[in-house]
Amino acid sequence: MEQAEQTAQPLVVATLLKKMDASPGFAGLGGAVQNICRLVDEDGGNREIVAAILRDPALTSKLLQIANSGSNSRGGRNVSKIDQVIAILGLNTVKSVALSLALLGSPSHNQQSKQLHAEIVAAFFAGSFAAEITRLYGSSYSSQEAQVCGLMQNLGRMMSIFYLYEDIERSRKLQTDRNLPESDAVLQTLGVSFEDIGVAIARHWALPDVLQNSLAPDTLKSSPQAVANAAGWYLLSSFFCRRITDVLFRLPENREKIELANSIDFFSRSLRLKEKEVIETVEKCLLDTDNILAGMTFPCDVSDAKSLLRKASERALDTLSAHDALVKEKHAEGGQSPIEVIKHTMRLIHSHYNFDCTLICLPTSSSGLLAIAGVGRNTAQLTSKFHSSGTKRDIFQVIISRCVDAFISDVTLPKYANLIPEWYKEVVGAKSFVMLPLMHEGKLTGMIYGDYEKPQTEAPVGLAQGEMLEWRNRLTDAIRSGSKSRAA
């Protein structure tokens, strides 16, 4: 039976499970592991130990796996609560597992480690939020069981990032190269979704049905009916918490408010939700997540996690109409329209330099600047509102007049502060940015704008050479081809 299950799995899942069996996990929140060991040694209360375990998604999933394994699940035991795990395994085993995970440490690859930390923050929020929602609206059900379900919602993502990082990098490159949604790029690269990977892991670990079901892909098309039993509650509350977590950590910031409202409305009948109360609970759980992680000196907070994880779903957008020449005309490169070439090239630049926001701007007749396409933080809003113009000279007009590469390390420095326009402070709010002119025969055809939310001490390397020089030439060519059509 087990062999048939293995052969029916996609190759990437079978590979992942094999790697997981050989190297059993990773330490998520090192501070939580240390705290658990201290509590065990000091004969701490059961409630304190449960709370400490639930702060670490990796440890939680590992303990559940062991407790539900063949050697421990005699009599068809279905373990989905951490206090049950402690009763079955004993505190010494819990401590041993915690120490073994701590010894594995974080991956040495810096970017991989950052992504894992960000995913752990999202998982921690999802677990806390699931528990709070259950306390508020499903008091007859176990908030601890709901918390475990919430905590494991991105299990497939975390394990893929840890064990299949090269495949994840290939997926991100495909996403960048073709301007695809993350889910499409993952499916094309791995042949299976993160959700399906999570379900396969839960099944491989023989976790209880309630946990396996909670990890399933959310395919709901219409609002579900009222929950009738515990299984229904854990399933729908998990779907709801996953959607809310994705809205907060993966969707563009400008869509957060409306998508939160949409998600609450979608599940309001089944979970008996009250919008104002849920919004307050979201804010409470975000704050609690930050406070608890800060107390553990975890290397990533909610803001950092949001910034990093949102980049995984970014796509290049433009504000041009179907009648614009940059949209209509064909460009020599692959028969694409100039705006498609621009968007593709922008995505490459954005990813290469890890900008938080990247815009392509065109000069206006009034010595100003107008954004036509963007990728990154608040793309839709920034692309429509990034517009330097008027008689008051600002930093963008100064840069345009000089037509040279410019790096602004910190907009609050005295030498820059008076030149930063109010609309930039209110709408954009980045602390560092670069402006790169796109020139042809001594004339300005456009500008690349790339920013960072936090101040940078040094400008990005290689802005006028190598790949970046090729990308700048490609953008210049695409803009010129559209401009010729306009003139004609």
pLDDT digits (tens, 9 = 90+) for 143-192: 999 998 998 899 999 999 999 999 999 998 888 888 888 899 999 999 99
CA distances from 47 to 43, 52, 150, 165, 205 (A): 12, 9, 19, 36, 25
d(CA 80, CA 52): 16
- Please count the CA atoms within 13 angstroms of the CA of 155 that sit on its side-chain side: 38
Helix (H, G, I), strand (E, B) or coil at 358: strand
What is the amino acid identity at position 345?
Answer: T
* Whole-number pLDDT of residue 378: 81
Residues of the chain with pLDDT under 70: 1-8, 24-34, 70-77, 96, 99-109, 331-334, 365-366, 482-488
* Whole-number pLDDT of residue 136: 97
**How many Cβ atoms from other residues are within 10 Å of residue 70's Cβ?**
7
Selection from 219, 239, 216, 104 nearest residue 156 by Cα: 216
d(CA 91, CA 424): 55
* Whole-number pLDDT of residue 7: 42
Give the domains, in start order, of the chain with CATH numbers: 2-26+106-312 (1.10.3210), 316-487 (3.30.450.40)
